[in-house]
Chains A and B, each alone.
Chain A
């Protein structure tokens, strides 16, 4: 019996100590806090980590230059545990308890969609770095500003590209059964049908499965000219490798970015040579022509020994935009909101930043193709750096040519 009693004491002691420490969390005088909500734990922790690194790099740069108006910036993180209700709790904490004048976040579309009504009710501006689902901007809130292009833009760019390059008639959509995948499926399905394409097959899949061969066989059976995939990195790799196994040969492998658009995908840490010829919509790449991209890539590599995904860069730029908007007034959320509206930064590593009346940044969704394990922009024509190669050679042809 005695160990039990002492354990009660231990538990109580740990708890009360924790509460004590928690209560002594006072902000220092000469800093200004910016609220950040992201997913540090839970199923989306990998992307929350990318966010965190992006914010860290931006923070260091900003404070090295002396912060804003002589005040150092401090980031006030709230972990939403990859859950929407926790993200809402985060907004309440950051606004009601920590009194931050602006919030950046969250990572995922579902968490971001959940916090829109709260920031609107609390009248605090929200900068959205990475959430692509279209239903976020459809809320019509006057307090939200999105840096990234949305899923509708992804579909539109891809369809424009296809129409002007061989004009395939049939399309199969393969998407992971998550918020990200379904949002992209909805956009593509609607827009492709409207554009006169025949969507011959739609396949949702359970993300993070080891085996997609049967699914790919189904796609093969429908014989589409083009395939549109919405996947995260590792499923993208699995899908491409297994496409070779089942010998699926569409003329175009197109994709809704993300897994197909991050630096690791065409390298040995991703699909490697299997990534060749795939098209993807891209928000950003380390090789982007926008000034500062290379510098960010270098800094990120120093910090983590890996190349950044666009999530990290979007977080980085979001913080820069927030600080820019705080230069005139750093305490009033309404004033900061007006400043974000008026913002017009001609060049960031994420391109020019300017929000329209709905709060959407006019970020171009580029179409890239991986050629010889390098991303090349192939669409729109004014940004293109290479000609697209189509139709995609069959796996057998690629084997014969020694490309695999």
Chain B
């Protein structure tokens, strides 16, 4: 194996699978569940935001549709079928969102995804007869005992699956197409990559994973309301963690989630109301000093990471005249 990131990932997952043998504390399990939930979402986001370089700030829509899919469809069917329904609904949403958004680039794309997610959230709020509105709707349990442990394992397994998909994408022709689009969409187009289709596939894959994560989340809490599962705060969190970890790298989303979610929880217990301030400072520090994310920067530093593809954003040339960076006149030599 020439891919140290895969090895490190495998090690993390092995540890994760063993943890419950030693820890029987629902709080720790839930915190780690959350770490892996966001690692999953980060990995899903990474397909679109990392490899393809399309910054989506609307991933809460896919997550929330998965959650509501389980809640609403299970009224007439088994919960596992309902999850499937949620995944399909989420992919349909991805087609709609993608068909409009992918024609746009840079900040336009980013803002379009926000707008779509907000529309989904507001519809969930405004149609109480269908979704229960803000009063909320109950969600069936996926596991007989509904223990934290079952959800913990389910989530780790889901993360492993998402990680495997990322690992495959990174080395597949499909993945190379995505990275080509990230580096220069026009050139990719000119050498015969069907960029529209490739981007859409990445979004579909991403939406499906996010929807399963959403269903898992909803089932753990047995009850959902729109804002926490569809809100922009969630979308931001889904994108911020992999970016700080290193977008377009295999380990980035996992490391980002492990480090920052842990930081968030620890800060909350120590600093109380001030925790968001500390968190904000941490975000600013990472941006200033690790602009390629934690893993991205490490990759550059350490030789044995070199086998992996280049990190996403730092090396990205301006995609087109409209999206040129305007802050400093000339590209800095690295």
Task: Report which A residues bind B (CB closer than 8 A).
Answer: 3-8, 10-11, 14-15, 18-19, 21-22, 25, 40-41, 45, 77, 79, 81, 83-85, 88-89, 92-93, 95-97, 110, 113-114, 117, 121-122, 133, 135, 177-179, 181-183, 186, 204
Contact = CB atoms under 8 A, between A and B. Distances in A.
A305 to B, nearest CB: 19
B10 interface: no
7 contacts: A15-B262, A18-B267, A21-B270, A84-B223, A89-B31, A95-B26, A183-B135
Contact of B135 (A4, A25, A40, A186): A186
A114 B148 contact: no
Contact of B27 (A22, A93, A133, A179): A93
A77 B268 CA distance: 10
A133 to B, nearest CB: 6
Contacts of A6: 289
Interface stretch (B88-96, B125-133, B155-163): B125-133
A186 B148 CA distance: 33
Nearest to B23: A96
Interface residues of B, number: 45
B19 interface: no
Interface stretch (B68-76, B194-202, B280-288, B323-331): B280-288
Contacts, number: 118
B242 to A, nearest CB: 17
Interface string B17-45: 00000000111111100100000000000
Nearest to A181: B134
A93 B285 CA distance: 29
A92 B30 CA distance: 8
Contacts of A3: 289
Contact of A40 (B126, B225, B259, B273): B273
B236 interface: no
Contact of B221 (A25, A85, A178): A85
B276 interface: yes
B26 A85 contact: no
B148 A79 contact: no
A4 B223 contact: no
Nearest to A134: B135
B275 interface: yes
Contacts of A8: 289-290, 297
A79 B275 contact: yes
Contact of B134 (A14, A83, A110): A110
Given A79-B272, A84-B225, A117-B146, 7 more contacts: A7-B285, A96-B28, A97-B27, A117-B221, A121-B146, A182-B128, A182-B134
A11 B282 contact: yes
Contacts of A10: 285, 289
- 8 closest pairs, A vs B, by CB? A7-B289, A92-B27, A93-B27, A92-B26, A179-B134, A96-B25, A96-B27, A110-B225
B320 interface: no
A182 B270 contact: no
B190 interface: no
A44 B30 CA distance: 23
B263 A4 contact: no
Nearest to A5: B301
B136 A89 contact: no
B269 interface: yes
